[in-house]
């Protein structure tokens, strides 16, 4: 939690918004038995200025000589070559590497690998330049490598005039996908630069994690350095995914078929075709990617050039190939995780948690899981509950009641471990002692334990890298500690936080200060004096003028106080390369890091892992590795059950172990919008189990924002409400309007759980996406390239949320209508008419209503909504059929036990509709005992005089045709499917 960065946050405690008996939680500082506070300057580093804005910065392209290729050896599947520095070393941001090795390999029909690294690498500098496969697996060539080059649509060429460059083209179109022509390759021990020109008005996506619109645009610098930062727009935040997708639209001549690149496709009567390719740079070092008007530039502060080009030609092709070849398919989640989750920083004891549960039950709002933030800990220490507020016996009773009601409990576990005061016996902390015994913690260069500071005070940090490469005990210790904690608290999953990794001081600040523990962070917690929560959503003053005025006045006073800072001119630290030495603390090239100095609010780059690897070389992988360790810790507890983990920091491939939430966002309308492009990006990154802090984390929410947001998040895979301590409560039961809005959207979500689970299973098993951009499903409509205010859930559900304060309508498009696509309104089940291709249609969206549409040609399996996912799973089945313009439809249903890591049995049901008949064909051995209750056919044409199931007449009293809307509703099927809806194939026909 970059929870102290609520600097623009800030609001009066909104007691007027609370439900009876619901209090605004006070700061949980009561859990921190500290008398010492770290000084504010503990987390202040050297003043540095990012290269991209430094007026004294040197452009490497103006002075570096590039390389010349020699010793070129060509094979049927690629080539190798030496690259030798083509002139005097420039040593601009590091020491030039004189000799490089180029390897070009067609690894599959759709995948080309281009790798450039130093020719001479030894054990002493291996991790300077290479990313070990043990950390991030390398894609390898598929079987049959001798035929890939000739069959691939990717072409590779290179040149030596004036210096080495290479080009990747799409053979079928001649389009240049990536070219370094016209630029110099720069390769130094702390700086790499290469790049490519891009076509006019290009469409790039990915390069996460970032709070930005879905389409990245041509004026963005993406910094890859994991940081404990609130969700600051365009800043480097928690995770790193160095992959982008490039979609290009071409206008097709209807007479000749010739294609012309269309950078501004505005003619909606024209015919277009798109091609998408992907580029993955397998490098975990600190990086920066500059997107500018006509080019992309990659810069790295270490590692190598390890590029993988995916030919596509669709997003679906690229995403599936990327996951299967490079990062792994996403973890399958337990069924219950798709229910609704409630959390906040500020639930101070088991009684408050029970009160929350009771309020949900009283108002019959679905609730699957209750979460605990750091409030439950004893003085913010992992693996220990506060004995007075969260006692183990009381907790065992609480969790037992939860489980009896088919509900669940998930606590947070932070990434730093308290280092107790060695002079105070009462401050003993056994997890620390056990970790020391197993060499589990990160070191200083002199071999002493690195001691930073996080919530409990001075802390140490698990050394996953040392465990992997040097056999030390971090993983064993972590697994053991979680098992020991599970013996006391029967948790159902784990929430990993602060894993960038965060530290509240520069360097090993606690090495000689453990006797001052426990210590307060060097900043005020939210809600503490001077850091009151005084921020409200945009437009709050229009509906709550008095409260808004009070908050504004208090905020102005706080801002005036905070503004009293020195006006002295800043003198920046600029370092220069030293031959044979890397400056890891202050690299000569300064990235655009939100915190500035790399050691600020992070473990310092010179921290040392057991075996000698520096934090500088692996910083971006701490979050990835703690998710791996937690995954196996949960498997140790329940070897056959799918681990449920939500993590903050992640890297390419983390999705095979864990899910992700969007971090510390803000209770602002803007951030409700940003949740959509953020979720779509994580679909590309192979982490489909994604959601955000619904209603916002920082600041105070209000009724209107929370009403809209609770409805929007109901269509995200991970659905959780969470906010900060000191802010107004924002559980959905706080406002009656939000109760109604939430229940309306939840009824849809819970009815769709079989469809959502099936869609997610396909993400897990094939690499398809769960949340989808309109442009992916309708790739030949260029006006959708920037569409990120609507999205598809799976391939059948279109969601068009209202994202504007005070609005009662929303504009949306209905993709594909120009080529015959049919859409039906979820609520009245009638077909959408009178819409043309690309037309923005104004849709009614009064408060409490979220527009949802069903795509024609789809069959959607459903069950009855309930208060828990277990209740849904025990209810009768229904099938919703949305016919396309040809009166056809298809769909599928996946069923298993909902929790097994490797299900012993499962069931897949194929649905097909043609010639006025719905056929359900089951495959598999899973025994499912619920009956089929009803079937609804959208787009049915009358007259209809007969409905039959497997040739047997269905009684006329159980079905009816709403001829005006073309809706055929068939009920009473439970008696005809007694035993199970899916035990045998069946055909439902109408005529």
Say what the alpha-carbon torsion angle 502, 506, 507, 512 is, to the nearest 10 degrees. -110
Per the listing, tokens 């810790």 go with 633
Helices 736-751 and 703-713: crossing angle in degrees, nearest 10, is 0
Catalytic residue at 664? yes
Tell me which of 96, 316, 375, 500 is the catalytic residue.
Answer: 500
Phi, psi of 795 (to 5 degrees): -100, 5
Determine how many CB atoms are found less than 10 A away from the CB of residue 125.
14
Give, in degrees to the nearest 5, the angle at Cα 966 between 960 and 991.
60
Residue of 834, 885, 841, 882 lying closest to 862 (CA atoms)? 882
By CB neighbour count within 10 A (0-12 exposed, 13-18 middle, 19+ buried), where does 771 fall?
buried
Q: Which residues of 483-512 are buried (b: 16+ CB within 10 A; e: fewer)?
A: eebbeebebbbbbbbbbbbbbbbbbbbbbe
Residue of 530, 590, 536 lying closest to 561 (CA atoms)? 530
Residue of 109, 203, 112 lying closest to 158 (CA atoms)? 112
| Structure token digits, residue 489 | 């608290």
| Structure token digits, residue 196 | 């490519």
| Structure token digits, residue 738 | 């939000």
Tell me the C-alpha distance between 11 and 16, whole Å.
13
Tell me the C-alpha distance between 67 and 630, whole Å.
44
Q: How far apart are the first and last CA of the chain?
A: 60
Secondary element (H or E) of residue 330: none
Say what the alpha-carbon torsion angle 517, 523, 529, 533 is, to the nearest 10 degrees. -130
Residue of 288, 306, 310, 305 lying closest to 297 (CA atoms)? 288
How many helices and strands in the chain, by DSSP H and E?
A: 19, 51
Tell me which of 43, 664, 704, 795 is the catalytic residue.
Answer: 664
Catalytic residue at 414? no
Determine how many CB atoms are found less than 10 A away from the CB of residue 562.
10
DSSP per residue, 75-143:
ETTEEEEEEEE-SS---SSSPBPSEEEEEEEEEETTEEEEEEEES---TTTHHHH---TTTSPPP-PPS
Catalytic residue at 500? yes
User: 321 by DSSP, 3-state: which?
Assistant: helix
Contact 170, 51 (CB under 8 A): no
For 144, residues 6+ apart whose C-beta sits below 8 A from its C-beta are none
Phi, psi of 555 (to 5 degrees): -65, -40
Say what the alpha-carbon torsion angle 253, 258, 263, 266 is, to the nearest 10 degrees. 10
Tell me which of 43, 427, 492, 497 is the catalytic residue.
Answer: 497
User: 677 by DSSP, 3-state: which?
Assistant: helix
Q: Which residues of 580-617 are buried (b: 16+ CB within 10 A; e: fewer)?
A: eebbbbbbbbbbbbbbbbbbbbbbbbbbbbbbebbbbb
By CB neighbour count within 10 A (0-12 exposed, 13-18 middle, 19+ buried), where does 900 fall?
middle
Residue of 827, 878, 828, 825 lying closest to 856 (CA atoms)? 825
Residue of 752, 220, 159, 133 lying closest to 469 (CA atoms)? 133
By CB neighbour count within 10 A (0-12 exposed, 13-18 middle, 19+ buried), where does 153 fall?
middle
Classify residue 277 as left (phi > 0), alpha (psi -120 to 50) or beta: beta
Q: Please identify every residue annotated as catalytic.
A: 497, 500, 664
């Amino acid at each position: 939690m970059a929870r102290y960065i609520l600097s623009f946050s800030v609001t009066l405690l909104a007691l007027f918004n609370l439900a009876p008996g619901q209090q605004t939680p006070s700061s949980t500082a009561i859990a921190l038995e500290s008398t010492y506070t770290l000084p504010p300057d503990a987390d202040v580093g050297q003043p540095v200025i990012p290269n991209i804005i430094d007026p004294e910065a040197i452009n490497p392209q103006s002075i570096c000589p590039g390389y010349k290729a020699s010793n070129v050896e060509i094979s049927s599947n690629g080539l190798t070559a030496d690259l030798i520095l083509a002139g005097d070393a420039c040593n601009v941001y590091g020491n030039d590497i004189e000799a490089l090795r180029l390897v070009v390999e067609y690894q599959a029909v759709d995948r080309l690998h281009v790798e450039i690294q130093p020719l001479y690498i030894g054990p002493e500098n291996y991790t300077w330049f290479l990313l070990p496969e043990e950390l991030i697996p390398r894609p390898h060539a598929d079987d049959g490598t001798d035929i890939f080059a000739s069959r691939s649509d990717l072409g590779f060429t290179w040149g030596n005039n004036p210096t080495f460059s290479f080009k990747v083209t799409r053979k079928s179109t001649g389009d240049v996908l990536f070219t370094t022509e016209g630029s110099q390759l720069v390769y130094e021990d702390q700086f790499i630069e290469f790049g490519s020109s891009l076509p006019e008005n290009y469409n790039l996506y990915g390069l996460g994690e970032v709070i930005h619109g879905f389409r990245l645009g041509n004026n963005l610098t993406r910094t890859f350095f994991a940081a404990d930062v609130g969700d600051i727009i365009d800043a480097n935040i928690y995770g790193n995914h160095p992959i982008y997708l490039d979609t290009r639209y071409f206008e097709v001549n209807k007479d000749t078929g010739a294609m012309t690149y269309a950078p501004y496709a505005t003619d909606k009567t024209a015919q277009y075709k798109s091609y998408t390719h992907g580029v993955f740079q397998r490098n975990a070092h600190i990086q920066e990617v500059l997107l500018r008007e006509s080019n992309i530039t990659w810069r790295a502060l270490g590692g190598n050039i390890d590029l993988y080009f995916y030919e596509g030609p669709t997003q679906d092709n690229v995403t599936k190939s990327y996951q299967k070849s490079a990062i792994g398919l996403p973890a399958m989640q337990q069924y219950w995780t798709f229910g609704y989750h409630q959390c906040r920083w500020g639930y101070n004891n088991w009684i408050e948690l029970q009160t929350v549960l009771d309020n949900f039950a009283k108002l019959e709002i679905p609730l699957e899981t209750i979460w605990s933030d750091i409030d439950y800990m004893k003085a913010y220490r992992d693996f220990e509950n506060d004995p007075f507020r969260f006692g183990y016996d009381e907790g065992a009773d609480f969790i037992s009641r939860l489980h009896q009601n088919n509900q669940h409990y998930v606590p947070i576990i932070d990434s730093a471990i308290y280092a107790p005061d060695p002079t105070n016996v009462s401050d003993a902390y056994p997890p620390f002692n056990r970790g020391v015994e197993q060499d589990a913690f990160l070191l200083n260069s002199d071999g002493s334990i690195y001691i930073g500071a996080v919530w409990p005070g001075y802390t140490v940090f698990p050394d996953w890298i040392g465990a992997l490469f040097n056999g030390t005990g971090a993983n064993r210790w972590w697994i053991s500690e979680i098992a020991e904690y599970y013996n006391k608290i029967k948790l159902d999953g784990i929430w990993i936080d602060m894993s960038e990794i965060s530290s509240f001081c520069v360097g090993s600040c606690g090495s000689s200060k453990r006797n001052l523990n426990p210590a307060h962070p060097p900043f005020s917690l939210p809600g503490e004096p001077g850091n009151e929560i005084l921020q409200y959503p945009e437009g709050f003053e229009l509906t709550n003028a008095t409260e808004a005025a009070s908050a504004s006045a208090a905020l102005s006073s706080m801002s005036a106080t905070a503004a009293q800072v020195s006006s002295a001119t800043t003198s920046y630290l600029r370092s220069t390369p030293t031959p044979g030495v890397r400056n890891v603390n202050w690299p000569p090239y300064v990235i655009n890091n939100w915190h500035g100095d790399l050691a600020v609010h992070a473990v310092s780059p010179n921290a040392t892992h057991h075996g000698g690897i520096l934090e500088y070389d692996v910083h971006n992988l701490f979050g990835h590795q703690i998710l791996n360790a937690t995954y196996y810790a949960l498997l140790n507890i329940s070897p056959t059950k799918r681990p449920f983990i939500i993590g903050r920091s992640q890297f390419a491939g983390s999705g095979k172990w864990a899910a992700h939430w969007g971090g510390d966002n803000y209770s602002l309308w803007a951030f409700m919008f940003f949740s959509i492009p953020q979720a779509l990006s994580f679909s590309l990154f192979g982490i489909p189990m994604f959601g955000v802090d619904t209603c916002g984390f920082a600041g105070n929410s209000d009724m209107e924002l929370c009403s809209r947001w609770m409805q929007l998040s109901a269509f995200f895979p991970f659905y959780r409400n969470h906010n900060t301590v000191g802010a107004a409560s924002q559980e959905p039961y706080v406002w009656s309007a939000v109760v109604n809005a939430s229940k309306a959207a939840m009824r849809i979500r819970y009815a769709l759980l079989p469809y959502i689970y099936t869609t997610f299973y396909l993400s897990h098993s094939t690499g398809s996406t769960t949340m989808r951009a309109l442009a992916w499903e309708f790739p030949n409509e260029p006006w959708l390239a920037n569409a990120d205010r609507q999205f598809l859930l799976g391939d059948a559900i279109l969601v068009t949320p209202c994202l504007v304060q005070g609005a009662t309508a929303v504009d949306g498009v209905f993709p594909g209508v120009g080529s015959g696509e049919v859409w039906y309104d979820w609520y009245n089940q009638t077909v959408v008419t009178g819409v043309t291709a690309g037309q923005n249609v104004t849709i009614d969206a009064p408060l409490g209503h979220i527009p949802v549409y069903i795509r024609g040609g789809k069959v959607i399996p459903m069950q009855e909504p309930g208060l828990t996912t277990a209740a849904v799973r025990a209810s009768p089945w229904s099938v919703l059929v949305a016919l396309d313009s040809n009166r056809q439809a298809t769909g599928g249903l996946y069923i298993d036990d909902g929790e097994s890591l490797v299900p012993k049995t499962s069931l897949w049901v194929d649905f097909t509709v043609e010639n006025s008949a719905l056929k359900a064909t089951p495959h598999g051995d899973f025994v499912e005992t619920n009956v089929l209750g009803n079937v609804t056919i959208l787009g049915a044409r009358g007259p209809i005089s007969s409905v039959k199931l497997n040739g047997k007449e269905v009684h006329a009293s159980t079905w009816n045709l709403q001829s005006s809307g073309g809706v055929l509703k068939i009920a009473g099927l439970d008696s005809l499917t007694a035993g199970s809806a899916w035990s045998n194939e069946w055909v439902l026909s109408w005529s």
